[in-house]
Amino acid sequence: MSRLLLIAASAAALAGAAHAVEPDEVMADPALEARAHALSREMRCVVCQNQSIDDSDAALAKDMRIILRERIAAGDTDEEAEGFLVARYGSFVQLKPPLRPDTLALWFGPLVVLVAGGIGAAIYMRGRAPGKAAPLSAGEEAELADLMETDRSSSDRAG
Amino acid sequence: MKRVLFLAPIALFVVVLVVFFVGLRRDPSALPSALIDKPVPAFILPPLRPEDSRGFAATDLGGEPMLVNVYASWCGPCKLEHPMLMRLKREGVIIHGVDWKDTREAGYGFLAERGDPFVRVGSDQSGRTGIDLGVAGAPETFVIDKAGKVRYRHIGAISIEDWEQKIGPLLQRLRAES
């Protein structure tokens, strides 16, 4: 039983670390490798478009991982290394799109829909609320007073 | 007011319908090149053909509108596209080739066996020039204008429709540019 648990635990631990990086790509300096690893998780593979280059087994993703590591080894900042790929493949390779005029709809579209929905809901709720009744006319007023009087006198008798 | 509220969901439905109708018919792999209207980054590729003294370089671009075709011997759609490139060569279109992520032997064997549509052709074994061009896979074809700038990127094999409706007319327009 305990052996089974151990196997399950090691399998889970391995699953957490699973990515497509091959041993020959890993940089000697762990700090630089950590930067390259973090960066490659943010870059989209252009072959299998819903994977990061860190996850993808595509040959082109491997090339892009190696390029990132070369740039970092050459002293590039994270932004410069990312910029190298963005200059060639466009913003498409960024899994987190930057805030730019052409991405405004992407960033704020949901908010606009939420606000529009809220306004619509408010209008709807207001329409459903019972409105104020119109004041009684003189005739209705007299009729009401009459009824009240009858009611009072009848309850007096009963009391 | 009531009528507006009643029609709003129907109007919304129509808008969503149009968005989906247009959006779902678009090819998500058809991405514009990051290089559109920009000069091609500098590159010098070694020759692919044994008889060539030099391969293909960025300085070969420009002068006349032309195509740059990225292919590889391992690429299935490239085989389908190849007769189209031969036809364009016969029609006088200037096509340069990049043999991408391929050995020289295999890349040259592809041309020796099937015919060679290229004016200049370079061997990009490491694939780095392809990456400089923003290539995501083979085949891809770039339309280059007289100034040597990228004007269009075509992903996948060039079909007869692609040529007659997009690439051919674009080349005609580019020839008319000064």
| Highest mean pLDDT (candidates A46-50, A65-69, B1-5) | A65-69
For residues B161 and B168, is the Cβ–Cβ distance under 8 A? no
Instruction: Decide if B9 is inside a domain.
Output: no
CA distance A6 to A9: 5
Residue B35's pLDDT is 86
Identify the CA nearest to B79 among candidates B156, B166, B154, B143. B156
A64 token code pair? 């892009």
Task: Give the distance from residue A88's alpha carbon to the nearest chain B alpha carbon, in angstroms.
Answer: 5
CB-based contact, B66 to chain A, within 8 Å: no
Residue A18's pLDDT is 54
Measured over the CA atoms of residue A50, residue A51, residue A53 and residue A57, the dihedral's sign is negative
Tell me the chain B residues in contact with residue A87 when contact means C-beta distances shorter than 8 Å: 34
At residue A97 the predicted structure's pLDDT band, cuts being 50, 70 and 90, is confident
The verdict on whether omega for the bond into residue B139 sits within 30 degrees of 0, i.e. cis, is yes
Tell me the chain A residues in contact with residue B101 when contact means C-beta distances shorter than 8 Å: 59
Structural domains in chain B (count): 1
Taking CB atoms and an 8 Å limit, are A60 and B127 in contact across chains?
A: yes
Which of B6, B31, B153 should be substituted to probe chain A, the one whose Cβ sees the most A Cβ atoms within 10 Å? Answer: B31
- Where are chain A's structural domains? 13-97, 98-128
Whether the pLDDT of residue A68 is over 70: the answer is: yes
Those residues of chain B that have pLDDT short of 70 are: 1-2, 28-30
Instruction: Decide if B51 is inside a domain.
Output: yes
For residues B169 and B131, is the Cβ–Cβ distance under 8 A? no
Whether the pLDDT of residue A22 is over 60: the answer is: yes
CA distance B138 to B157: 8
CB-based contact, B134 to chain A, within 8 Å: yes
CB-based contact, B131 to chain A, within 8 Å: yes
For residues A96 and A39, is the Cβ–Cβ distance under 8 A? no
Residue B5: φ, ψ to 5°: -65, -35
HEC profile of chain B = CHHHHHHHHHHHHHHHHHHHHHHCCCCCCCCCCCCECCECCCCEECECCCCCCCCEEHHHCCCCCEEEEEECCCCHHHHHHHHHHHHHHHCCCCEEEEEECCCHHHHHHHHHHHCCCCCCEEEECCCHHHHHCCCCCCCEEEEECCCCEEEEEEECCCCHHHHHHHHHHHHHHHHHCC
CB-based contact, B133 to chain A, within 8 Å: yes
Whether the pLDDT of residue A11 is over 80: the answer is: no
B60 token code pair? 């070969």
Instruction: Decide if B6 is inside a domain.
Output: no
In chain B, which among 69-108 make CB contacts under 8 A with chain A? 101
Which range marks the domain in which residue B94 is found? 34-177
Taking CB atoms and an 8 Å limit, are B131 and A127 in contact across chains?
A: no
CATH of the domain at B134: 3.40.30.10
More confident residue, A134 or A72: A72
Instruction: Decide if B148 is inside a domain.
Output: yes
CB-based contact, B137 to chain A, within 8 Å: yes
Residue A133's pLDDT is 74
Instruction: Decide if B128 is inside a domain.
Output: yes
Half-sphere CA count of B25, side-chain side, radius 13 A? 6
Structural Rg of chain A based on CA atoms: 35
Residue B157's pLDDT is 94
pLDDT over 70 percentage in chain A: 87
> Which residues does A117 contact at the CB level (< 8 Å), separation at least 6?
none
Residue A10's pLDDT is 67
At residue A49 the predicted structure's pLDDT band, cuts being 50, 70 and 90, is confident
At residue A153 the predicted structure's pLDDT band, cuts being 50, 70 and 90, is confident
Does the model's ipTM exceed the 0.85 cut?
A: no
Minimal Cα distance from B34: which residue of A?
A90
* Residues of chain A that touch chain B, judged by Cβ-Cβ distance less than 8 Å: 46-47, 49, 59-60, 63-64, 67, 86-90, 92, 120, 123-124, 127
Reported CATH class of domain A13-97: mainly alpha
Instruction: Decide if B118 is inside a domain.
Output: yes
